[in-house]
Chains A and B, each alone.
Chain A
């Protein structure tokens, strides 16, 4: 099972949308795809058509066995687990659920995507050698600063996982974004060699309780997610 942890290097970078859209594109390959919501916003399920009134998830249960009752399957066959609405969730519980998900009975070719909150440091996650971590960034100066700080942290830690930065919501009309992306591509290690374009389709498809693949399969954004999925396959240890 290939685990992929997706988080924003800061808040509001669209990690939940990326997880949902990536899950649907991966599912096209007819492999098992499981999406786990680790973010207390608990909005991943909305992308997969979970009723708004349904607020429960793994955080409401004391044990992983009880949390199994909250696994859902969407129309495309993606298995997803909502976070829930418990206020009493700490990093230990998140670590526990991540570890317990390894025991799920899926094939070795399955993908398990974790939607990680930006405020929890990566060092708290039980990351292993074959795990892929994608930190989403925007092409702005604050992310430039945060990327360099992260690189310094990674340099000083015993990083074993595969860590990458991915530009999300790239605006090709912006001179600043073009300057930064060109600079990052040629000077920074660990940058994914492409970006996810800013595309209204992502917001619209979410409003229709769906994902880009189903609402606008020929959109720029969906093309980008297919690129992301293919690139992840090349990085995966399946």
Chain B
């Protein structure tokens, strides 16, 4: 069973792009997006409710 509460990798490869490539052709493996972890942490820490939910999920 996949863990649906979080993504496993910090590096995103889009399965959507992959599916489109399968259907219409083209390369799918060159789409790599680097997640800005610091920006995400800033957002979570900025808003109290997000911070509380994040803390609960990580305990």
A residues adjacent to B (C-beta < 8 A): 141, 144-145, 148, 151-152, 154-155, 176, 179-180, 182-183, 186-190, 193, 231, 234-235
Q: Name A's interface SS.
A: helix
Q: Are A189 and B49 neighbours in the complex by a CB distance under 8 Å?
A: no
A-B contact pairs, 25 of them (CB 8 A): A141-B49, A144-B49, A144-B50, A145-B49, A148-B53, A152-B5, A155-B1, A155-B4, A176-B47, A179-B46, A179-B47, A182-B39, A182-B40, A182-B43, A183-B40, A183-B43, A186-B35, A186-B40, A188-B7, A189-B7, A231-B16, A234-B16, A234-B19, A234-B20, A234-B23
Cα-based distance from A187 to B2 in the complex (angstroms): 15
In the assembled complex, the CB of A82 is this many whole angstroms from the nearest CB of chain B, namely: 34
Give the CA-CA distance A141 to B53 in the complex, in Å. Answer: 10
Q: Kindly list 11 other residue pairs between chains A and B, CB separation below 8 angstroms, not including A144-B50, A189-B4.
A: A144-B49, A145-B53, A155-B3, A179-B46, A180-B43, A183-B50, A186-B12, A186-B40, A187-B7, A187-B40, A235-B19
B55 within 8 A of A: no
Residues of B within 8 Å of A, CB-based: how many?
Answer: 26
**B16 pairs with A154, CB closer than 8 A:** no
Candidates A151, A182, A183, A235; contact of B5 at CB < 8 Å: A151
Check A183 against B44 for contact (C-beta < 8 Å).
yes
Expressed in whole angstroms, the Cα–Cα distance for A65 and B11 within the complex equals 52
Chain B residues whose CB sits within 8 angstroms of the CB of A145 once the complex forms: 49, 53
Q: Which residues of B contact A231 (CB under 8 A)?
A: 16
Name B's A-contacting residues (CB within 8 A): 1-7, 12, 14, 16, 19-20, 23, 33, 35-36, 39-40, 43-44, 46-47, 49-50, 53, 57
B5–A155 contact, CB under 8 A? yes
Contact pick for A151, options B1, B4, B40, B47, CB 8 Å: B4
Q: Is the CB of B35 within 8 A of A193?
A: no
The complex places the Cα of A231 from the Cα of B23 at a distance, in Å, of: 12
Q: Is the CB of B16 within 8 A of A193?
A: yes
What is the distance, in angstroms, from B34's C-beta to the closest C-beta of chain A?
9
Q: Report the minimal beta-carbon distance from B6 to chain A, rounded to whole angstroms.
A: 7
**Bound: A148/B55 CA distance, A:** 12
Chain B proximity of A218: nearest CB distance (Å): 25
Most B-side CB within 10 Å, residue of A154, A190, A234: A234
Pick the most buried of B33, B36, B50: most chain A CB atoms within 10 A of its CB: B50
